[in-house]
Structure 1
Amino acid sequence: MPTAVFSLAGALVFGAADFLGGLSAKRISALLATAVAALSGCVLLFVALPVIGGEWTAHDVLWGAISGAVGAVGIALLYACLAIGPMSILSPTTAVVSAIVPVLYGLVFAGERFDAIGYWGLGLALVAVLLVGFVPERGAVRPSLRGILMAVGSGAAIGGFYITIDQTSDESGIVPLILNRGVNAAIMFAAVAVVAIVAALRSRAVDAVPAAGGHDPERMPRADRSALATGIRLAVACGVVDAVANALLLFGIRAGDLSIAAVLGAMYPAGTILLAAIVLRERIAPVQWAGLVLALAAAAMLAVA
């Protein structure tokens, strides 16, 4: 029961974080939004450490850092495959693979076993993940092999995050998550720096060519500054919510089976969809409503498995 509750709650909170991250990425770059979110999440977890507790050991620090690096790869591939599209196919593909990888690991290597209702619940949950993440697009094209491979790679890396964070001890508390967010922030800020350097070099090359009327690259329009500030604030909020989601997911993993936690954790699109419907008045497709209903049914089955 605790695993199902923590994991499903974590998935919904993850969806809220993705919603805030999406709003932030519309105003600043996706890389910068992810970097700021990772940093703010790391700060929150560090501040919360004395309250929640956790022991610092070389084993847990190592696995926490590895989970951060694996998670960064998953995020990078996710953005890359969604940019290629179509999102309606590649997004649920990523979610399903991110659930299947930990399930296979748990069943094959960790020796996890369930009652019959548990296996039915896992299967139903995977179907729910697929339906919830499906966003119908008019005239959607078939995905390219490159897009599919990136989606599978992203899902595998996200699934790898579940597996690596599961290697940490219960005594470590949220210490592994601090390392996870810290390493993730370092990688993302490094990527932002590389992009900024490349952009600066290209800008110099363009400025070297005389242009009629001229321009002042040092001055940023007030609207751009406002969008930047709003984007940063949204990214900070995203990081705070994301840190809470990570903590809930970690508690879910430690309370029971990795397979159940990973599958229910992959329901994160549900939170994004519900917030988009409430805040942005976006329509929820019938297939997504079906997925939400199946998700609740699957959670109930897994809770008693």
Structure 2
Amino acid sequence: MFTVFLGLSSALTFGAADFFGGIAAKRISPILATAVGAVAGLAALVLIFPFVPAVWSTEAVLYGAIAGVNSAFAIGLLYACLAIGPMSILSPVTAVMSAIVPVTVGLLRGESLGAFGLVAIPIALIAVVLVGFVPEKDAVRPSAKALIMAVGAGASIGLFFVILDAAPDDSGIIPVVGNRVVNALLMFGLFFALAALAKRKRAGAPAPARSSLWRRGLYFAMIGGTLDVMANMAIITGVRIGDLSVIAVLTALYPAGTVLLAAIVLRERIAPVQYVGIALGIAASVLLVVGG
């Protein structure tokens, strides 16, 4: 029961984090939004770390570093595709893929999903197709580029679950801390490198002004990063006390939070067939839980 609570909590938190991260990526950039989010999440972890039992080990740090490289790619790609939009379509695509990867790993390791779980995987693949199929001219239409990015982001997020699951059980939140440190270093390094190249190209031209819109982008990135690390803590706890496949597919319900916020704040419109795809994606996640 506690595993279910952790999975659903991480799903709602991830959904809100993706919404704020996607908004931040539109105002600043996906790279800077990811870097700022990583630092904000790290600051939250520093405050929490003294109160969480943990045993330092080379293995714990190594898995944290690997998770950091993976999540830098995953979150950067996710924020980039959400910045292109529409959030309410691309978020479910990443969710389905994030469930398929750890479930596949679980099956290869001998986990049994049962009849419901085996049916859920093809349903999830159908959902990916439906959310990208838009028959109406005035409906929200995701580009092929955005869909490919969403699939890649989802697969990387799924791999993140697998990495955290492999970390030592007594490592506490050390892998999450390592993840944030490496993530921040990589993304800030990339951001400053690209900024230096851009500055060289426009040598002699006045620097662009930092608007209030840009500053709000930084605030949104910090909120998204803090929420993201809270979800990570729920995930690493969940995979230690329960099955990898169960916590992964429960977390894959996170589009509910993103879709709700996108509909309320951004007024995004979705075609009926896309609603079917979103519903199938959520149903596939539920079936995977039942099968597990």
TM range (shorter): 0.7 to 0.9
Q: Percent identity?
A: 46
Q: Which amino acid aligns with 1:179?
A: G
**Partner residue in 2 for 1:181:** 180
Once residues 126 and 101 of structure 1 are traced to their aligned partners in structure 2, the CA distance between those partners, rounded to angstroms, is 12
Q: 2:189 aligned with 1:158, yes or no?
A: no
Cα drift, residue 295 of structure 1: 2.7
Shift of the 236–119 alpha-carbon distance from structure 1 to 2, 3 Å rule, reads same
Once residues 16 and 133 of structure 2 are traced to their aligned partners in structure 1, the CA distance between those partners, rounded to angstroms, is 17
Shift of the 185–142 alpha-carbon distance from structure 1 to 2, 3 Å rule, reads closer
Once residues 266 and 127 of structure 1 are traced to their aligned partners in structure 2, the CA distance between those partners, rounded to angstroms, is 14
Superposition RMSD on alpha carbons, in Å? 3.5
**Partner residue in 2 for 1:12:** 12
**Partner residue in 2 for 1:231:** 217
Once residues 79 and 26 of structure 1 are traced to their aligned partners in structure 2, the CA distance between those partners, rounded to angstroms, is 9
Structure 2 gaps, min length 5: none
**Partner residue in 2 for 1:249:** 235
Indicate if the aligned counterparts of 2:64 and 2:177 stay in contact, CA closer than 8 A: yes
Cα drift, residue 286 of structure 1: 4.0
- The farther-off stretch of 166-175 and 79-88 is 79-88
Once residues 268 and 130 of structure 2 are traced to their aligned partners in structure 1, the CA distance between those partners, rounded to angstroms, is 14
- The farther-off stretch of 73-82 and 269-278 is 73-82
Indicate if the aligned counterparts of 2:88 and 2:255 stay in contact, CA closer than 8 A: no
Indicate if the aligned counterparts of 1:98 and 1:159 stay in contact, CA closer than 8 A: yes
Shift of the 50–135 alpha-carbon distance from structure 1 to 2, 3 Å rule, reads farther
1:1-305 to structure 2, matched below 5 A, reads: 1-78=1-78, 93-108=93-108, 110-120=109-119, 122-123=120-121, 126=124, 130=128, 136=134, 138=137, 140=141, 143=144, 148=148, 152-204=151-203, 207=204, 217=206, 220=209, 224-283=210-269, 285-287=271-273, 289-290=275-276, 291-292=278-279, 295=282, 298-299=285-286, 302=289, 305=292
Q: Which amino acid aligns with 1:183?
A: V
Cα drift, residue 126 of structure 1: 2.9
Once residues 124 and 282 of structure 2 are traced to their aligned partners in structure 1, the CA distance between those partners, rounded to angstroms, is 9
Cα drift, residue 91 of structure 1: 5.9
SS in 2 for 1:26: helix
Cα drift, residue 227 of structure 1: 2.0
Once residues 34 and 235 of structure 1 are traced to their aligned partners in structure 2, the CA distance between those partners, rounded to angstroms, is 7
Indicate if the aligned counterparts of 1:68 and 1:180 stay in contact, CA closer than 8 A: yes
SS in 1 for 2:166: coil
TM-score between the two structures when normalised by the length of structure 1: 0.79
Indicate if the aligned counterparts of 1:125 and 1:299 stay in contact, CA closer than 8 A: no
Shift of the 265–193 alpha-carbon distance from structure 1 to 2, 3 Å rule, reads same
Cα drift, residue 129 of structure 1: 6.4
- The farther-off stretch of 124-133 and 9-18 is 124-133
Once residues 159 and 41 of structure 1 are traced to their aligned partners in structure 2, the CA distance between those partners, rounded to angstroms, is 20
- The farther-off stretch of 27-36 and 293-302 is 293-302
Cα drift, residue 130 of structure 1: 3.7
SS in 2 for 1:166: helix
Query: Higher Cα Rg: structure 1 or 2?
Result: 1
Indicate if the aligned counterparts of 2:23 and 2:220 stay in contact, CA closer than 8 A: yes
Indicate if the aligned counterparts of 2:67 and 2:163 stay in contact, CA closer than 8 A: yes
Once residues 41 and 130 of structure 2 are traced to their aligned partners in structure 1, the CA distance between those partners, rounded to angstroms, is 26
Q: Which amino acid aligns with 2:96?
A: V
Cα drift, residue 68 of structure 1: 0.9
Once residues 200 and 268 of structure 2 are traced to their aligned partners in structure 1, the CA distance between those partners, rounded to angstroms, is 40
Structure 1 gaps, min length 5: 208-214
Once residues 154 and 208 of structure 2 are traced to their aligned partners in structure 1, the CA distance between those partners, rounded to angstroms, is 41
Indicate if the aligned counterparts of 1:91 and 1:151 stay in contact, CA closer than 8 A: yes
SS in 1 for 2:110: coil
